[in-house]
Amino acid sequence: MLGASTVRPFLRAVSGLRFFAAFHVIAFHTFQAGKLVENEWLRNWVGAGYTGVSFFFVLSGFVIGYSYLGQLPLPKARRRFWKARLLRIYPSYFISILPGLVAFIWFQLSSGAFNPRAFGGASLALALGQSWYPPIAMLWNPPAWSLSVEAFFYMLFPFVAGSVLRVQRPGRIVLLILVLYCLGLSETLVFLHNKPLSEYLAANSTLGDFSTEFVKFFPVMHLHEFLIGLLASRFLTLRTELAFFSERIGSALQWLSAGLIVGICSVSPQIPYFLLHNGLMAPLAAILLLMVSMFPDTVLARFFGSRPLVVLGNASYALYIFHMVLDRLLPDSYHRALVASPLLPGALFIAGNLLVSVVYYEVVERRFQKIGRRVLGIH
């Protein structure tokens, strides 16, 4: 049934890749979208850190498909699945927006004025709905907009799982991935059809009108990324159909997809920003995730699946959701030092985030998940 994930081997390399995606996002925010990095190649790579969120969307579909596409989505199991996913993301999400919520309540009480729009936005954020109204998508904790999108994926998954299971032929899966990919990028271009070409480039990504915010944050605009990951996971249950894939081919595809992802990020200023933001590299992410899962004994898969990276991968959600909260707690002297000489303050900030996230995962998150599952009856 859908409420409890099918027991399958832990994908160690996927956990390591999850960490690298989170690290890319944090480097992007720490070094101000790469503006504080002198080396051009590294500056471009850091400046493309927002693509880590797109990688997360593909990874989310892949992992959920791998874990839950074991049986048909029976209606009775939907609530169990939704409770399991809510338990996974909401407690840490709520903690991450709590400082903003407290400040909001304090301001409303001290001002003595009731603002319906402000309360409406606050209600959306509390309900993981802020991305449905893009102007407030980054309210209180900017990275949390992607959790609003993930919540949409979770709500939708039980209704599409049966259709995905009925796709039995690898060729048909590939065709569906290509169709979704083309449709996803096409809708991005359609909504931005009136923008001049110069505004598509990554160097001109700080646009703030409603149409660009809609393209960046509205959940439906990212659905193809999740579905590509979901369809890619289908290959893992059709391994007998992929017998022609040798470990050598799998290793080559791992290096090729990883290399292309890094290479594209390193020339990101020359690539349309909105396409990169909305899944231009989704097929490459799906190939990498699939190949390291199918061939876990290759050099690259063993690296991503090494114990330190698995530990960091387990803590990557906390790393992602809390890093900007921690940044706001630091004094102005840190931010001045970061601008003056970025390397040491930035490295110390990231290292501190890693430590806090691992401790939080081991001490708080794991225990809370265990208690929550027992209370909610999730097995």
pLDDT digits (tens, 9 = 90+) for 112-128: 666 677 788 888 999 99
Q: Given phi > 0 = left and psi -120 to 50 = alpha, else beta, which region is 140?
A: left
185 domain-assigned: yes
Give Cβ neighbours of residue 73 (< 8 Å, ≥ 6 apart).
Answer: 2, 81, 157, 158, 159, 161, 162
For residue 261, pLDDT beyond 90: yes
Say what the pLDDT of residue 8 is: 75
Give Cβ neighbours of residue 273 (< 8 Å, ≥ 6 apart).
Answer: 200, 201, 202, 203, 204, 205
Say what the pLDDT of residue 74 is: 60
Number of domains in the chain: 1
Say what the pLDDT of residue 199 is: 56
368 domain-assigned: yes
Question: Could you report the per-residue pLDDT of 263-294, keeping only the tens digit for each?
Answer: 999 999 988 888 999 999 999 999 999 999 99
The pTM assigned to this predicted structure is 0.92
2 domain-assigned: no
User: In the beta sheet, which residues pair with residue 272?
Assistant: 201
SS3 208: coil
- In this prediction, residue 131 has a pLDDT band, given cuts at 50, 70 and 90, of very high
For residue 7, pLDDT beyond 90: no
5 domain-assigned: no
- Contact yes or no for 17/56 (Cβ under 8 A): no
For residue 361, pLDDT beyond 60: yes
7 domain-assigned: no
CA distance 205 to 143: 17
**28-55 mean pLDDT:** 90
Say what the pLDDT of residue 322 is: 95
298 domain-assigned: yes
Measured on CA atoms in the order 98, 372, 23, 269, is the torsion positive or negative? negative
Question: Could you report the per-residue pLDDT of 198-245, keeping only the tens digit for each?
Answer: 555 554 454 567 778 888 999 999 999 999 999 999 988 776 556 667
1 domain-assigned: no
Say what the pLDDT of residue 71 is: 56
- Contact yes or no for 15/309 (Cβ under 8 A): yes
Measured on CA atoms in the order 298, 303, 308, 309, is the torsion positive or negative? negative
Amino acid of residue 67: S
Q: What percent of the chain has pLDDT over 70?
A: 89
Question: Could you report the per-residue pLDDT of 310-354, keeping only the tens digit for each?
Answer: 999 999 999 999 999 999 999 999 989 998 888 899 999 999 999
**What domain range includes position 276?**
12-374
**184-194 mean pLDDT:** 79
242 domain-assigned: yes
Say what the pLDDT of residue 105 is: 80
For residue 297, pLDDT beyond 80: yes
Say what the pLDDT of residue 1 is: 44
- Contact yes or no for 234/261 (Cβ under 8 A): no
Q: Pick the range with the lowest mean pLDDT from 100-104, 193-197, 217-221.
A: 193-197
Say what the pLDDT of residue 203 is: 45
For residue 29, pLDDT beyond 70: yes
